[in-house]
């Protein structure tokens, strides 16, 4: 791998006008070799996506490339006209965008969208385009490609939509593929499929991949080399092996220390104080200095130069220009001091249950015709049983579409259950209705997955947080609500002045803190946390997890934590329940389930989790196909069509409950034999 495909030098991108435009990419330099996977790491706002858009010359209005060169296979792309660039864009270089749902045209069929790329870049006549589209869909592993040609994007799963985006990118046979957070919104099983697909395509086409991500586990398992970005600059480059053995820059080390895991559950995760600085200002000194725990006096007055540490490794930090070794620099990272109480011992089953859910079912009717006749049911939740005690965290995990969020909303009666029982402190909630449910709203709250969508953009933050206090008549006076809101903002680490601002003025992590403050306002006893950290950077995720853990210890809260991030489960949860197609297939203490999964689906789910530590990685168990439709679940065990261990009996009978000696419950016929 000595042939250089892409060489970027001095790339500087600015957005905005005036005396001080935002310099979102500042003097960036990197090299990418053929068939190499190069990862670009960093927090949101560091300039990763803007780097990709600069390379593609797809900057938003007001953006411009102020300086630099982008040499792809001997051609400087910045010197091409827009008409010439169209031949390279989608042809010699292609891009997979972060959100496939918004990148695909919702009113065009899949075959038409891919066919358009084939016609433009391959020049095939219309009669031969469909054959090429079928080849591409088959190459990216989409089953029954002939049927998918006539489907619209909304008819495809998240993993399928991402595969369609990859097929479109491959239609021009690119030398360079830029993948911008291609797996951020995907489950670990679909993520593993997409990453495996990219690797296989890379081997067969000799294509180079520029992977933009903030998931260190994905980088560790897929990339060859990486660069860490901060505030528009690259602060470290290294091979993946060198980086994870000993990251050189203080920022890189803090990112590594912020990752959750079972080994850190008795303590607080390391966090990076503050946030990425705005880029519309002149910088003096090191840009990371205000947040650095290893800062030197001269870091505030002198910008650090670039230091080459090895043939293809370098760092932008004064700790190295001053002659300090990596080991000495690493020694300066303060040890994490545990401020969290040890995890409470498990209570005997059925004793002091705060919440008891038995055979919960939530069905949605399928209606057709002019008279909207019911012709079927979508069994989103199909007989879920859970127990949760005070001060405990029960994690609910599984692929998208398995019913996790619907189960959470059904428990809170935000969706009316079709069947089953939901008992809170021994009192039945199902069927209470709107008015009789109001007294329980104080004790049962929810933190939604998307903090921005769950807040009224026209209301001030103080009014949003205090709305529950007013609605439930907990605090009747405006002055009293204002005082309570100020205390809540302080509790979640925000200043009281925050109350006078609007939701759009905050970062994603800050908005999630505001949603936590809103949930805490009415002093609940149980909070359903629906993917509260799924869209956050590792450093912001660490802040939110530390906050949730600290609040649980101080206030005695119970959490039903809905997530597909297994590392978060290992760090925060006491028990875990694994859902598949509306049913719980395995449930028990978190250490037992994660260390020794007994259900084939749990094993497949855990095997797909990307791990930073090579010793912790499992052999990936491939699950063929997608999850069946909940409107037409298969007979017998719901998992048997995808199960690598299925028996003939699995297609006939749904397995009963098997209880193991370590407190686990598993639904699998193999355990009953």
Give the pLDDT score at 190.
75
Q: Could you tell me what percent of the chain has a pLDDT over 70?
A: 93
For residue 501, with 0-12 CB atoms within 10 Å meaning exposed, 13-18 middle and 19 or more buried, which class applies?
middle
Distance CA 159, CA 194 (A): 7
Coil, strand or helix at 216: helix
Instruction: For residue range 231-255, list pLDDT tens digits in order.
Output: 999 999 999 999 999 999 999 999 9
Give the pLDDT score at 662.
85
In a domain, 14, yes or no: yes
Max Cα distance, the chain (Å): 79
Coil, strand or helix at 499: helix
Give the pLDDT score at 101.
73
Distance CA 561, CA 666 (A): 20
In a domain, 229, yes or no: yes
Q: With contact defined as beta carbons under 8 Å apart, do 11 and 29 qualify? A: yes
In a domain, 208, yes or no: yes
Give the pLDDT score at 429.
95
Q: Which of the four pLDDT bands, split at 50, 70 and 90, describes residue 580?
A: very high
Domain span at residue 231 reads 1-82+203-245
Instruction: For residue range 548-576, list pLDDT tens digits in order.
Output: 898 899 889 999 999 888 889 999 999 99
What average pLDDT does this structure show over 64-69?
94
| Element containing residue 13 per DSSP (H, E) | strand 4-15
In a domain, 155, yes or no: no
3-class SS letters over 131-199: HHHHHHHHHCCCCCHHHHCCCCHHHCCHHHHHHHHHHHHHCCCCCEEEEECCCCCCCHHHHHHHHHHHH
Q: Which residues of 320-331 are buried (b: 16+ CB within 10 A; e: fewer)?
A: beeebebeebee
In a domain, 61, yes or no: yes
How far lies 341's CA from each of 82, 261, 492, 621, in Å?
60, 17, 19, 36
In a domain, 440, yes or no: no
Coil, strand or helix at 115: helix
Strands (E), 322-456: 353-368, 373-389, 393-397, 419-424, 427-428, 444-447
Q: How many CB atoms lie within 10 A of CB 295?
A: 18
How far lies 503's CA from each of 391, 400, 452, in Å?
30, 27, 7
What CATH number corresponds to the domain at position 30? 3.40.50.300
Q: Which of the four pLDDT bands, split at 50, 70 and 90, describes residue 39?
A: very high
- Among the listed residues 260, 316, 270, the one whose alpha carbon sits nearest the alpha carbon of residue 293: 270
Q: How many CB atoms lie within 10 A of CB 567?
A: 22
Residues 6+ apart with CB under 8 A from 429: 413, 422, 423, 437, 440
Q: What's the total number of domains in the chain?
A: 1
Give the pLDDT score at 185.
62
Instruction: For residue range 163-221, list pLDDT tens digits in order.
Output: 888 888 888 888 999 998 887 667 787 778 778 888 888 888 889 999 998 888 889 98
Q: Which of the four pLDDT bands, split at 50, 70 and 90, describes residue 324?
A: low
Q: With contact defined as beta carbons under 8 Å apart, do 7 and 194 qualify? A: no
Distance CA 670, CA 600 (A): 10
pLDDT of 611 over the 50 cut:
yes
pLDDT of 279 over the 70 cut:
yes
| Element containing residue 240 per DSSP (H, E) | helix 240-245
- Token pair listed for 206: 């000799």
What average pLDDT does this structure show over 249-276?
86
Q: Which of the four pLDDT bands, split at 50, 70 and 90, describes residue 156?
A: confident
pLDDT of 5 over the 70 cut:
yes
How far lies 93's CA from each of 2, 49, 72, 87, 178, in Å?
20, 16, 9, 9, 8
Instruction: For residue range 364-413, list pLDDT tens digits in order.
Output: 998 888 888 888 899 999 999 999 999 999 999 988 788 899 999 999 99
Distance CA 334, CA 51 (A): 33
| Element containing residue 307 per DSSP (H, E) | strand 306-310
Instruction: For residue range 635-663, list pLDDT tens digits in order.
Output: 999 999 999 999 999 999 899 999 998 88
Measured over the CA atoms of residue 586, residue 588, residue 589 and residue 595, the dihedral's sign is negative
Distance CA 601, CA 597 (A): 9
Q: With contact defined as beta carbons under 8 Å apart, do 305 and 222 qualify? A: no
Give the pLDDT score at 391.
93
Is beta strand 37-41 parallel, antiparallel or unpaired with respect to 208-212?
Answer: parallel
pLDDT of 481 over the 80 cut:
yes
Give the pLDDT score at 327.
43
Give the pLDDT score at 202.
86
pLDDT of 453 over the 50 cut:
yes
What average pLDDT does this structure show over 482-505?
89
- Token pair listed for 488: 């809540």
Coil, strand or helix at 494: coil
Q: Which of the four pLDDT bands, split at 50, 70 and 90, describes residue 334?
A: very low
Is beta strand 583-589 parallel, antiparallel or unpaired with respect to 665-667?
Answer: antiparallel
pLDDT of 303 over the 70 cut:
yes
Give the pLDDT score at 144.
80
Q: Which of the four pLDDT bands, split at 50, 70 and 90, describes residue 278?
A: confident
In a domain, 667, yes or no: no
How far lies 538's CA from each of 32, 45, 289, 328, in Å?
26, 13, 19, 25
In a domain, 19, yes or no: yes
- Token pair listed for 318: 């004064």
β-sheet with 393-397: strand ranges across: 444-447, 526-530, 558-562, 393-397, 575-580, 583-589, 665-667, 657-659
């Amino acid at each position: 791998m000595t042939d250089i495909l892409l060489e970027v030098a001095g790339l500087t991108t600015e957005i905005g006008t005036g005396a001080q435009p935002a310099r979102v990419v500042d003097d960036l330099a990197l090299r990418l070799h053929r068939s190499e996977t190069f990862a670009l790491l960093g927090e949101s706002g560091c300039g990763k996506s803007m780097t990709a858009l600069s390379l593609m010359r797809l900057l938003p209005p007001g953006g411009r490339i102020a300086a630099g060169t982008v040499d792809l296979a001997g051609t400087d792309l910045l010197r091409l006209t827009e008409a010439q660039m169209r031949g390279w864009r989608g042809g010699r270089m292609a891009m997979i965008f972060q959100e496939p749902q918004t990148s695909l045209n919702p009113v065009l069929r899949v075959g038409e969208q891919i066919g358009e790329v084939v016609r433009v870049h391959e020049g095939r006549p219309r009669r031969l385009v469909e054959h090429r589209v079928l080849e591409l869909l088959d190459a990216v592993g989409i089953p029954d490609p002939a049927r998918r040609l006539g489907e619209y994007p909304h008819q495809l799963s998240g993993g399928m939509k991402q595969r369609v985006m990859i097929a479109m990118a491959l239609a021009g046979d690119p030398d360079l593929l830029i993948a911008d957070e291609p797996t951020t919104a995907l489950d670990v099983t679909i993520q593993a499929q997409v990453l495996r697909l990219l690797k296989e395509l890379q081997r067969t086409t000799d294509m180079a991949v520029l992977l933009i991500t903030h998931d260190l586990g994905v980088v560790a398992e897929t990339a060859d080399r990486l660069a860490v970005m901060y505030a528009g600059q690259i602060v470290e480059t290294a091979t993946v092996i060198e980086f994870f053995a000993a990251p050189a820059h203080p920022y890189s080390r803090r990112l590594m220390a912020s990752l959750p895991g079972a080994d850190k559950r008795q303590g607080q995760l390391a966090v990076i104080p503050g946030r990425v600085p705005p880029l519309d200002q002149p910088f003096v000194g090191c840009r990371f200095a205000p947040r650095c725990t290893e800062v030197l006096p001269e870091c505030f007055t002198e910008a650090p130069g670039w230091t080459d540490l090895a043939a293809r490794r370098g760092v932008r930090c004064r700790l190295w220009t001053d002659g300090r070794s990596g080991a000495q620099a690493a020694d300066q990272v303060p040890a994490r001091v545990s401020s969290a109480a040890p995890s409470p011992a498990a209570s005997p089953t059925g004793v002091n249950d705060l919440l008891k859910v038995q055979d919960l079912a939530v069905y949605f009717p399928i209606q057709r015709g002019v008279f909207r006749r019911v012709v079927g049911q979508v069994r989103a939740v199909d007989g879920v049983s859970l127990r949760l005690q005070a001060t405990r965290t029960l994690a609910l995990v599984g692929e998208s579409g398995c019913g996790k969020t619907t189960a959470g909303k059904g428990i809170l009666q935000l969706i009316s259950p079709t069947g089953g029982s939901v008992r809170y402190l021994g009192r039945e909630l199902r069927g209470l209705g709107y008015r009789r449910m109001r007294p329980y709203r104080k004790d049962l709250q929810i933190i939604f997955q998307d903090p921005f969508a769950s807040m009224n953009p026209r209301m001030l933050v103080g009014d949003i947080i205090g709305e529950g206090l007013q609605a439930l008549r907990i605090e009747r006076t405006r002055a009293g609500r204002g005082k309570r809101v100020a205390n809540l903002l302080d509790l979640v680490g925000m200043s009281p002045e925050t109350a006078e601002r609007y939701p759009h003025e905050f970062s994603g992590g800050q908005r999630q803190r505001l949603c936590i403050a809103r949930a805490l306002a009415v002093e609940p006893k149980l909070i359903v946390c629906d993917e509260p950290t799924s869209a956050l950077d590792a450093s912001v995720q660490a802040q939110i997890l530390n906050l949730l853990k600290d609040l649980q210890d101080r206030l005695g809260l119970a959490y039903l934590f809905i997530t597909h991030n297994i590392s978060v489960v290992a760090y925060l949860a006491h028990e875990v329940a694994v859902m598949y197609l509306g049913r719980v297939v395995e449930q028990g203490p978190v250490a037992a389930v994660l260390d020794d999964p007994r259900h084939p689906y749990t094993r497949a789910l855990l095997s797909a989790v990307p791990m930073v530590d090579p010793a912790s990685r499992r052999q990936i168990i491939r699950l063929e196909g997608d999850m069946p439709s909940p409107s037409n679940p298969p007979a017998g065990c719901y998992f048997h069509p995808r199960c690598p261990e299925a028996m003939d009996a699995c297609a006939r009978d749904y397995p009963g409950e098997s209880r193991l000696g370590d407190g686990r419950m598993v639904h699998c016929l193999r355990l009953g034999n």
